[in-house]
Structure 1
Amino acid sequence: MKSLRFRVLAVVAGFSIVTAVLLAAIMFSSVRGYYADMTHEKANSFVDRVLEMHPDLWAAYQASPESFGARLRELILYSPNTGLYLLDNRGTVLASASEGSPASIDMAPLMQSLAEDPDAPILAEDPEREGRTTLVSARPVLSEGEPVGWLYVISRASELTGNTPELLRSYAVRTAVTVGLMTLTIGVLLTITMIAVLTRPLIELTRAVERVRNAGFSEDVAGAMMPGWARDDEIGRLSRTFHETLERLRTEMQRVRLTDAHRREMVASVSHDLRTPLTALIGQLETIRMKRAVLPPEEVSELFTRAQQNAQHLQRLTDALAELARLDSPEFRIHPEPIAIGELADDVVQRFAARAGDAGLSLTLDYPDGLPLARVDAALVERALANLIDNALRITPRGGRVEVRVVPEAGKARIEVSDTGPGVAPEDQPRVFERFYQAARHRDLRGSAGLGLAIVRRVADLHGGQAGLRSRPGAGATFFIELPLGL
């Protein structure tokens, strides 16, 4: 019973059998009713003909009551299944064509039926079967124009289960069986056709989904439309739903794979990045402990300074890791609010003004008046811009300049940070925003944790924007982040 086809076929076959039985019963009942009507009509004709041919019936009875039963038997000689009785007006049987001793009958049902419709079939008592009703015909017997009794006829052959002719009963049964078998056959054929029409797209859809599953939700399989996706019915909607679900699964699996790759890369990079300053810090502290008594004070002070720098580098690295992990968390949500991007950039630039002056660098800001407000998370945008300015100040040589610009463009605000440093090599440009990319081999970031640009790109992604780079080696670099404008 696991097959959908078998289940549907069993249900429809059962329904067809029940329908066939009902139709057969209806057919059998119709044939029986037809025969009953035909027999009743014959009984009416018979009693009318008897009264017409024997208008002196009552006088004949009065002349010889004892032999009148024999005369009634002569009338039904060729209809042995017909009961013929002469009644008085009270329902007492005066004479009978049978050999028995019939009892009296209740005339009330007979009189009521005749009053309603004289030609309709009448159900009344059988004089020879006490307490049982049967199909009867009755006509009043007149004497000198007055009703003095009743000629009462019973058609006992009106029941198919009784004395119905064998041919008629066989015809009814054969007709009922034929109708039942035809109904069952039509139902089964219709069911098989319906199952084929309904299950074929389902089978194709199942096979397609299994292919996607077996292929590991790869892009080439999951990206293909499911069978029947263009149909405007339940199958089509199911196919499109499967397609959307598989596309979402593929996207989620890609995200999981990317997250796992980032995790592995982070573990490897963190272990490498932490090992270098930790080794240096341990060596410096060990040297101070072992040789403090023999080293000159200025050399001890220099060792302490280097140890402090390594400790600060470790702190920056752990802070950047914690920040990136917070931004990557599925539960993390930004808190946008209407912000003037120009004023926000001015606040960040002011924080770095003193550091730029101490390093002999020029730090400027340029943004147009009347910029529309942007709905962004101010803290995150400040962090991203601070990372860009910090990187620019690190790699720009003394006497150089760092320029910050806010440029409105097609409903977006692009925040640019340009420097006059050595620029970025072409082979490094596609990867500078990757996490833990060892850009220090190509650009000396002087103690950078290597995660600042990854945080910038993550902030841009969270706001529906993007981060980018324009650079030529030896001609400086321009890093930018684009954010949507408007409320």
Structure 2
Amino acid sequence: MRIGLRIFFGFFLIVGLATVLTLRVFVQEVKPGVRQAMEDTLIDTAHVLAALAADDMQAGRIADGDFARRMAALREAPVNADVWGLHKDSIGYRVYVTDAGGIVRYDSTGTDVGRDYSRWNDVYLTLRGQYGARSTRSDPEDEASTVMYVAAPIRDGDRIIGALTVAKPNAAMAPFIARSQHRILLYGGLLIGTACVIGLACTLWLVHGLRRLRGYARAVAAGERAEMPLRGTSELAELGRAVQGMRERLEDKQYVEHYIHTLTHEMKSPLAAIGGAAELLQEDMPAADRERFVANIRAQSGRLETMIRKLLALAEVEQRQRLETREPVQLGALLARLCAELEPRARHRGVALRLQAPPGPDVVAGDPFLLRQAIANLLENAIDFAPQDSDIAVALERRGAQLAITVADHGPGIPDYALPRVFERFYSLPRPRGADKSTGLGLCFAREVAALHHGSVRLANRPGGGALAELELPAD
């Protein structure tokens, strides 16, 4: 299972269980809570009515006195109330009064007058000075038919002369209980839904960051130029910076080791030539031979100097992950200047440079110095391989959102075995007319510059003979 699903399901499980347990407790507590509140109200009501009924009870007219008449009028009085969205149009109390022996002397419903209630808890306990209450089913087969009875003593001074009981069906509170439970479940569902959305958003954020970090790590492992994608102060960004720091340290170590190995390998040949010529110069020899060996030392020294200079430039470019500054560069004007600068070298080799740069937008955003060096390397390669009395076609054209620079010569082309390796560091093919091989760093430099500018460079054989180099860059 993917880490994103694990995180989401784990979050959902924890939040879901916590919410379900909380809702269950709330729902289970609603009914007893409402009934406790109702019982508290019945206690207050019973004591108030008991105080109002005391005079009639003492006078022996509880069944037909002022208390009975007022209670009868109260049952007939209209009620029009809205309680939390529920309409109430009648009084739901039942009131009965018993004497000191527990015999019913008044019943607001008129049904149980004269009956013996002395054994019911509400009457029995109240007549003995205790708190009397009970909950009894009106229908023994129906659990929902329970009625709550709460009694209060009727006193004559300190003597208890009767008990007044107020009764109210628990079913009267059922709509309020159901409404409260419905609202709790509704908000609980919204809470779970919101928690799921938040959990999903957090999971997606975390997974997105991990995927970007994974993509960065894979690009680094593949040796690609990649920029650390995470910013800020989050833990993922800190992890990304730690990975980046580790990468840079490892790359620096490997880079130095690799360059030392390749540089020493490439320097063996010119150093051996210089050493051999120096040993021969210690002997007596004709002036012509001496001049030839001196020229050889100068040529090999120049080759070493060029190699070191280009290697330093390539190392600087390869270590960059992005361009620090970008500015508009007009490729048409840049090509014209380069062709003018390289024209003497081309003429010396009997080659003509033909530039085709049609008018139109030709601006890219980048480093003008690096672009100049990269394009110069492509042009110099073409000049070195072009046959005498031929020309090199240099063109600038727009390809959608890209600007393409092409350099085409009529030379021998690239052998099939060399095509996959032409952009390798220090890889170089023999030059025509017995010229020395190059440092093998120019095309590698051009590739790195193209990558820094989010472009590409290609080298291939032309169908009609010769080589074709293409440098594509995003137009600004």
**Does TM, scored on the shorter chain, surpass 0.5?**
yes
The C-alpha deviation readout for 1:189-238, integer Å capped at 9, x for no partner, is 99999999999x9xxxxxxxxxxxxxxxxxxxxxxxxxxxxxxx445434
1:480–1:446 CA distance, 2 compared to 1 (3 A): farther
Query: In 1, Cα distance between the equivalents of 2:459 and 2:390?
Result: 19
Q: Residue 342 of structure 1 contacts residue 371 of structure 1 at CA under 8 Å; is this kept in 2? A: no
Letter paired with 1:460: A
Aligned to 1:475: 465
Query: In 2, Cα distance between the equivalents of 1:235 and 1:8?
Result: 11
Letter paired with 1:27: R
Does 1:28 pair with 2:36?
yes
Does 1:359 pair with 2:326?
no
The C-alpha deviation readout for 1:40-85, integer Å capped at 9, x for no partner, is 434533422544759xxxxxxxxxxxxxxxxxxxx974379xxxxx
Query: In 1, Cα distance between the equivalents of 2:127 and 2:380?
Result: 107
Letter paired with 1:165: G
The C-alpha deviation readout for 1:13-40, integer Å capped at 9, x for no partner, is 5786688678746533431431442354
Aligned to 1:401: 391
Counterpart selection for 1:435 from 424, 428, 433: 424
Query: In 2, Cα distance between the equivalents of 1:271 and 1:161?
Result: 108
Shift of 1:467: 1.5
Shift of 1:162: 6.5
Query: In 1, Cα distance between the equivalents of 2:295 and 2:51?
Result: 133
Aligned to 1:297: 287
Query: In 1, Cα distance between the equivalents of 2:19 and 2:192?
Result: 15
Query: In 2, Cα distance between the equivalents of 1:163 and 1:431?
Result: 105
Does 1:254 pair with 2:221?
no
Q: Residue 387 of structure 1 contacts residue 453 of structure 1 at CA under 8 Å; is this kept in 2? A: yes
1:467–1:448 CA distance, 2 compared to 1 (3 A): same
Q: Residue 411 of structure 1 contacts residue 484 of structure 1 at CA under 8 Å; is this kept in 2? A: yes
Q: Residue 420 of structure 1 contacts residue 476 of structure 1 at CA under 8 Å; is this kept in 2? A: yes
Query: In 2, Cα distance between the equivalents of 1:272 and 1:328?
Result: 15
The C-alpha deviation readout for 1:330-353, integer Å capped at 9, x for no partner, is 464253333332221111111111
1:192–1:43 CA distance, 2 compared to 1 (3 A): closer
TM-score by length of 1: 0.57
Secondary structure at the residue paired with 1:407?
strand
Does 1:164 pair with 2:172?
no
Counterpart selection for 2:56 from 40, 48, 53: 48
1:237–1:25 CA distance, 2 compared to 1 (3 A): closer
Aligned to 1:452: 442
Shift of 1:291: 4.3
Query: In 2, Cα distance between the equivalents of 1:270 and 1:445?
Result: 27
Shift of 1:464: 2.8
1:15–1:352 CA distance, 2 compared to 1 (3 A): same
Query: In 1, Cα distance between the equivalents of 2:305 and 2:149?
Result: 100
Query: In 1, Cα distance between the equivalents of 2:212 and 2:329?
Result: 34
Letter paired with 2:290: V
Does 1:241 pair with 2:241?
no
Letter paired with 2:384: R
Aligned to 1:316: 306
Structure 1 segment 60-75 matched on structure 2, within 5 A: none
1:47–1:37 CA distance, 2 compared to 1 (3 A): same
Letter paired with 1:254: R
1:289–1:441 CA distance, 2 compared to 1 (3 A): closer
Structure 1 segment 19-418 matched on structure 2, within 5 A: 24=32, 27-51=35-59, 53=61, 77-78=100-101, 163-165=130-132, 167=134, 233-259=197-223, 267-268=257-258, 271-272=261-262, 274-285=264-275, 287-289=277-279, 291-330=281-320, 332-418=322-408
Q: Residue 367 of structure 1 contacts residue 407 of structure 1 at CA under 8 Å; is this kept in 2? A: yes
1:421–1:465 CA distance, 2 compared to 1 (3 A): same
Secondary structure at the residue paired with 1:363?
strand
Aligned to 2:164: none
Unaligned runs of 5+ in 2: 1-9, 63-97, 104-121, 137-146, 151-169, 224-249
1:353–1:330 CA distance, 2 compared to 1 (3 A): closer
Query: In 2, Cα distance between the equivalents of 1:160 and 1:277?
Result: 119
Query: In 2, Cα distance between the equivalents of 1:262 and 1:451?
Result: 19
Shift of 1:300: 2.7
Q: Residue 100 of structure 2 contacts residue 127 of structure 2 at CA under 8 Å; is this kept in 1? A: no
Q: After the TM superposition, which parts of structure 1 deviate over 6 Å for at least 4 consecutive aligned residues?
A: 18-23, 155-162, 169-173, 189-199, 260-263, 441-445
1:245–1:437 CA distance, 2 compared to 1 (3 A): farther
Letter paired with 1:310: Q
Q: Residue 337 of structure 1 contacts residue 376 of structure 1 at CA under 8 Å; is this kept in 2? A: yes
Does 1:465 pair with 2:455?
yes
Q: Who wins on radius of gyration, i.e. which is larger?
A: 1
Query: In 1, Cα distance between the equivalents of 2:134 and 2:312?
Result: 98
Secondary structure at the residue paired with 1:475?
coil
1:160–1:479 CA distance, 2 compared to 1 (3 A): farther
Query: In 1, Cα distance between the equivalents of 2:127 and 2:32?
Result: 15
The C-alpha deviation readout for 1:407-456, integer Å capped at 9, x for no partner, is 23334332111112110134433442x33263437999833222211221
Q: Tell me how many residue pairs correspond in the alignment.
A: 350
Query: In 2, Cα distance between the equivalents of 1:235 and 1:361?
Result: 69
1:313–1:358 CA distance, 2 compared to 1 (3 A): same
TM-score by length of 2: 0.58
Secondary structure at the residue paired with 1:78?
coil
Aligned residues: percent identity?
20
Secondary structure at the residue paired with 1:309?
helix
Shift of 1:385: 1.0
Letter paired with 1:438: Y
Letter paired with 2:381: N
Letter paired with 1:250: R
Moved more, 438-447 or 24-33: 438-447
- Report the aligned-residue RMSD: 5.0
Q: Residue 8 of structure 1 contacts residue 195 of structure 1 at CA under 8 Å; is this kept in 2? A: no
Secondary structure at the residue paired with 2:397?
strand
Shift of 1:280: 3.5
Query: In 1, Cα distance between the equivalents of 2:192 and 2:15?
Result: 13
